[in-house]
Amino acid sequence: MRILHLIPSLTGGGAERQLAYLAPALAEAGVDVHVGYIGSGPNLARLRESAVQLHEIAAGGNHDVLILGRIVALLRELRPSAVHTWLLQMDVFGGAASLVAGVPWVLSERSCAQAYVQGWKFRLQRLLARRAAAVVANSSAGADCWATVRDDRVLRVIRNIVPIAAIDAEPMVKSADNAPTVVFAGRFAAEKNLPNLLRALDRALTAVPTARAILFGDGPLRGELDQLKTMLASGARIELHGYTDALWGWLKRATVTVNVSHFEGMPNVVLEAMACVSPLVVSDIPAHREILDERSALFVPTDSPEAIGNAIVACLTDANAATVRARNARAHCLSFSSAAVAEQYIEVYAAVAGARATPKAAAHR
């Protein structure tokens, strides 16, 4: 079986990281795996260290129409069993190329309905996706986006990979002052609810003056967050950093990891925090309820800095209860190993390629 994955870039986002986990796992399972990409990024190194074959696709910009022809040529050269697209740009270019070349197309849904702006790109994606042989979502909310598009496609929910062994091997980040630490990691964008998080952190750090907060990421709200931080009483103890390759070490170091997004698909950072046994404060949204419960995390409303701050303080001041919840969360994520998830994708590829597949390949889990 030969599979070509297409993704716009290999930057530090969740979809890019999941492909960097999945592609090597598929290769280890005996699949001939190829990845076509336009932009590089920190997840490229993980693929270069594996048996995955890489194909950089030249492009003059995000809307360069020549991308379509180059992908069609790559498909005709490789003749894959299926092409698997990730994110909107490749859903459009890769999906169209798969139809031109007559290759079965698997579309990844990495978010949920709230993430989409109803513009022409979205409408084009939906129009093309009517011809996709399969849609694989990482959450039930993501699958619901496509449940009514076509009845005869393969529609599956396959959870994100949690690379347990690699996470366990990562050392904890050392800190000279050993201060209690609140960690956030993710894109600095509106859906992450970061202004309310900063206000909540101000309350929590005022209540626990020995604590600090570190936010890893970047995005369109960076300037706004920098400005807001200067207006907060505890702003000097709220640090805004960029992407880090040492996130797992920081999650192990964290006294609490917080994610209070308005919506999510399947949040990688939350899953990885679960594996790192980091106590969690999360927004009360369906994506978090799919993988956590009251025994494994503290849930908070997205619109209340006071409630978010109180939950952070509870984790900072009641270590025993926080540790019990974190251990329960760790137990929840142990079934999302690379090998187990790769096997579920192989079932999908076999089904769409017309090969023999197990009966559950077409099931909507």
Q: Mark whether 182 and 307 lie in a shared domain.
A: yes
139-181: pLDDT as tens digits: 888 888 887 776 667 899 999 999 999 999 999 998 878 899 9
Q: Mark whether 76 and 172 lie in a shared domain.
A: no
- What mean pLDDT comes out for the span 320-347? 94
Characterize 80-117 residue by residue with b for buried, 16 or more Cβ atoms within 10 angstroms of its Cβ, and e for exposed: bbbbbbbbbbbbbbbbbbbeebebbbbbbbbbbeebee
Q: Mark whether 102 and 217 lie in a shared domain.
A: no
Q: Mark whether 239 and 111 lie in a shared domain.
A: no
Query: Where do the H-state alpha helices sit in the chain?
Result: 14-28, 44-48, 66-78, 87-101, 120-129, 140-144, 164-169, 194-207, 222-230, 247-253, 268-275, 286-289, 305-317, 319-332, 338-352
What is the crossing angle of helices 338-352 and 14-28, to 10°?
80
Provide the percentage of residues in the chain whose pLDDT is more than 90: 78
Half-sphere exposure of 136 (CA within 13 A, CB side): 24
Domain that holds residue 212: 165-335
Q: Mark whether 110 and 232 lie in a shared domain.
A: no
Q: What's the whole-number average pLDDT of the chain?
A: 91
pLDDT of residue 141: 83
* Residue 69, C-beta contacts closer than 8 angstroms, at least 6 positions apart: none
pLDDT of residue 154: 86
Round to whole Å and give the CA distance between 201 and 259.
12
pLDDT of residue 359: 39
pLDDT of residue 120: 76
How far is CA 158 from its chain centroid?
13
Tokens in use for 353?
A: 């390629």
Q: How many domains does the chain have?
A: 2
> Burial of 165 by CB count in 10 Å (0-12 exposed, 13-18 middle, 19+ buried)?
exposed
Which residues lie across from 241 on neighbouring strands? 216
Q: Mark whether 341 and 330 lie in a shared domain.
A: no
Q: Mark whether 105 and 213 lie in a shared domain.
A: no
Which CATH number fits the domain that encloses residue 65?
3.40.50.2000
pLDDT of residue 112: 65
Q: Mark whether 157 and 245 lie in a shared domain.
A: no
Tokens in use for 154?
A: 């393969």
Residue 313 pLDDT exceeds 50:
yes
Q: Mark whether 248 and 99 lie in a shared domain.
A: no
- 8 Å CB contact between 232 and 256: no
Closest listed residue to residue 9, CA positions, set 72, 98, 91, 86: 86
Q: Mark whether 197 and 343 lie in a shared domain.
A: no
Q: Mark whether 355 and 291 lie in a shared domain.
A: no
Q: Mark whether 330 and 346 lie in a shared domain.
A: no
